[in-house]
Chain A
Amino acid sequence: MIELKNITKLYRTKTGENLVLDDISVFFRARESVGILGRNGAGKSTLLRIIGGAEMPTYGEVIRTGQVSWPIGFAGGFSPSLSGEENCKFAARIYNADIDQVIDETRDFADIGDYFFEPVRTYSSGMRARLAFGLSMAIDFDIYLVDEITAVGDANFREKCQRAFDARRERSSLIMVSHAIETLQKYCTRCALMLDGKLTVYNSVDAAARVYDRSLKLKGKKESAQKAG
């Protein structure tokens, strides 16, 4: 399970302080799949990095039980100059997993052919996503953090991702960030909505989606009113 207590994150920018996360407290149960919905730049990815522990909150506390994955997304922890294989070795080493097994499983899942042995900088973003997703599946985590990644790739790959997660639902939980409602509907039972630095949890993806749509329309109206005025 994961518990966030009063998480606040400020970024210092040239124009002053930017409040990205505003006093967020939330509880994620074990073995549940939760979506986090929000516009681009709403702070979803920041929240995910803080949940994982890659970034520290300015204030507040995160309590985790179980092995939490890194946020699986495009940015990834890949060193561009190293090959896919070498990057897998690194991850396997730090998570104390069987190196050969991780390499075999990732190569199998990513299905990028001999590119697996080429430097990651030569990869397309789709290939990076395949590698990142395959790698995270090869290492056993109790909680998977997923950042938009399943929205990429062809239908074939997306189906593969979903099957892999379905197989894991019994023992692992999932926290998935997206601005695509359809993706969240496929994966998640509960859904949280990120609006103006605040996080609200809804009991279904549809409920969160309705509020999300309304907020988008409201914002659209405001903007057109401002233009007219």
Chain B
Amino acid sequence: MSTLSRGLSSQFEVIWAVMLRETLTRFGAHSFGYLWALLEPLLMIFTFWVLMTIAHRPAPPGMDIFTFLCTGIVPYNLFTNTANKVADSINGNRPLLYYPLVQPLDLVFARTILEIATYGAVFIILMGGHALYHHHLEVDDALVASMGLLVAGLLGASLGMVLCMLGQYSKFVDRARGFIFRPLFWLSGVFYTVAHLPEKARDAVLVNPVLHCVELVRAGWFKSYHDTYVTVTYPLLFILVLGFIGLSLERAVRTRIELT
């Protein structure tokens, strides 16, 4: 084996081991741990379902309230949870860095893969459950919908990586995180679609890359919904830039990470 492939396989082993460990600590502590990953979006869907019913606001044409909310909340949660989990990846796993084989980026990658896999499964279970209940499944373009989810996860991971590395310089970053995420919830198209917004509002929310991910999931899932405003290149650009900044910061921060 060449040095490169040996290095790669050893890195995969480390990432795999960290993922298994994360699953144990996060979900294994309580037997209903994994259920929580399902319950959290379900509760949010239920809340907005009630709100929309009270407000007499129907789902956009061709969607019912459940699938409309599910295609909004799952990618949004995937983004925020990946960002938060990755931002905490060093602080939450510091003892592991005591093993020289485990490097900060392994922790970042392990959490990214785990979040995307978890929320991908949550999406399939929720939407699949709904389809089974109604004996009806119609997906316009599964690839576009999956890409929306994947891009949401990667966007969260790249932002989380920048926050994680900055957090090694200043504790303030961790406290400021909430201020970034709170307004994003209202700007990400979770309970409205871009096509039905007035033009001015539309231009404003289109600046937000998370909205593009949500819209991609919906455009991919629903035959009746066409979105001509969003592109996958826009969030990808964010991922590239944030990823570049995050990786550069990691190099700068390496010598500063303290184990004790």
Contacts and interface: CB of A to CB of B under 8 A. Distances in A.
B59 interface: no
B17 interface: yes
Interface stretch (A54-62, A177-185, A186-194): A54-62
A55 B257 contact: yes
B37 to A, nearest CB: 19
Interface in B228-242: none
A90 B98 contact: no
Nearest to A57: B255
Chain A contact residues: over half helix, strand or loop, or mixed?
loop
A75 B98 contact: yes
Nearest to B256: A12
In which size bucket is the chain A interface? 20 to 34
Nearest to A54: B100
A91 B25 CA distance: 16
B25 A68 contact: no
Interface stretch (B8-16, B138-146, B190-198): B8-16
Interface string A54-77: 111110000000001011000111
Interface string B97-108: 111111000000
Interface size grouping (class) on chain B: 20 to 34
A126 interface: no
B13 A54 contact: no
Contact of B95 (A71, A78, A86, A94): A78
A55 B99 contact: no
A57 B255 CA distance: 6
B158 to A, nearest CB: 23
B260 interface: yes
Q: Is the interface of B mostly helix, strand, loop or mixed?
A: helix
B98 A93 contact: no
Contacts, number: 67
Q: Which of A77, A89, A91 has the most CB of B within 10 A?
A: A77
Given A79-B25, A82-B25, A56 B255 contact: yes
Contacts of A93: 13, 16-17, 20
Nearest to B22: A79
B177 interface: no
Contact of B10 (A58, A78, A81, A96): A96
Nearest to A83: B24
A4 B25 CA distance: 37
A134 interface: no
Given A94-B14, A95-B101, A77 B255 contact: no
Given A52-B100, A75-B259, A90 B29 contact: no
B173 interface: no
A46 B25 CA distance: 29
A70 B100 contact: yes
A158 interface: no
A86 B24 CA distance: 9
Given A81-B25, A94-B13, A54 B259 contact: yes
7 contacts: A71-B98, A75-B98, A79-B96, A90-B17, A90-B21, A93-B16, A94-B101
